[in-house]
Amino acid sequence: MEPTTQMPHDQRQPKWEGKACAELRSPKAEQVWPLLEDFFGLHKWLPALPTCLPVQGVSGQPGCVRYCAGVKTPVDLESDQPAHWWCKQQLLSIDPSQMTLSYCNIDGNIGFNSYIATMRVLPKEDGCSIEWKYEVEPIAGWTLKDLDMLIGTDLQEMASRMEASLNQ
């Protein structure tokens, strides 16, 4: 019998969970939602993600898949991780009336195993906010703080670009 490299289920670390929020001062939620729900258009708002291409399905319909690629994250600069990262993400659900969508990673070289995220736009009296909740198995060479920083920074950049675009 060959040794197994998998840990028994009860010895695995619990999934990491986190949430990032970004405030947009002037755009209304109804203006921001169409930008976020464009599942194949994420690269328009996230400079760290120069590539976001449709792989399967229709953007905005559950089951559609996008291919995302970029360069090393700040966390990976000192590591042996590939210079370029990529992943395929599948839209799990979308609810325009609640302005929320969920997706997961289905393949890639970034080590985000069992990654599931939910993004939603929340109306506010003056503007709106975007919330990005996520869970993932612990990532080799990272801490939860590293992931929180990366996603928080990415969300702030997305919100800033969306707001600038809508204020033109």
Quick one: which of 35, 52, 34 has its CA closest to 43? 52
pLDDT top residue among 167 and 16: 16
**85 pLDDT band (50/70/90 cuts)?**
confident
13 inside domain: no
Rounded Cα distance, 162 and 46, in Å: 10
| pLDDT (0 to 100) of residue 4 | 39
60 inside domain: yes
Instruction: Look up the CATH number of the domain holding residue 87.
Output: 3.30.530.20
Q: Mind listing the pLDDT tens digit for each residue in 107-139?
A: 998 889 999 999 999 999 999 999 999 999 999
1 inside domain: no
Q: Is 99 exposed, middle or buried (0-12, 13-18, 19+ CB in 10 A)?
A: buried
- On the question of pLDDT at 5 being above 80, the answer is no
Structural domains in the chain (count): 1
| pLDDT (0 to 100) of residue 6 | 46
162 inside domain: yes
Angle at 132 between CA 54 and CA 61, to 5 degrees: 35
118: left (phi > 0), else alpha (psi -120 to 50), else beta?
A: beta
| pLDDT (0 to 100) of residue 77 | 46
pLDDT top residue among 72 and 161: 161
- On the question of pLDDT at 3 being above 80, the answer is no
Q: Mind listing the pLDDT tens digit for each residue in 25-84?
A: 999 999 999 999 999 999 999 988 899 999 999 999 999 999 999 876 544 445 555 567
| pLDDT (0 to 100) of residue 19 | 97
7 inside domain: no
| pLDDT (0 to 100) of residue 2 | 41
Quick one: which of 64, 63, 62, 61 has its CA closest to 53? 64
Q: Is 41 helix (H, G, I), strand (E, B) or coil?
A: helix
Domain coverage including residue 157:
19-166
The whole model's pTM is what? 0.85
44 inside domain: yes
99 inside domain: yes
Secondary structure of the chain: what % helix, strand, coil (to 5)? 25, 35, 35
8 inside domain: no
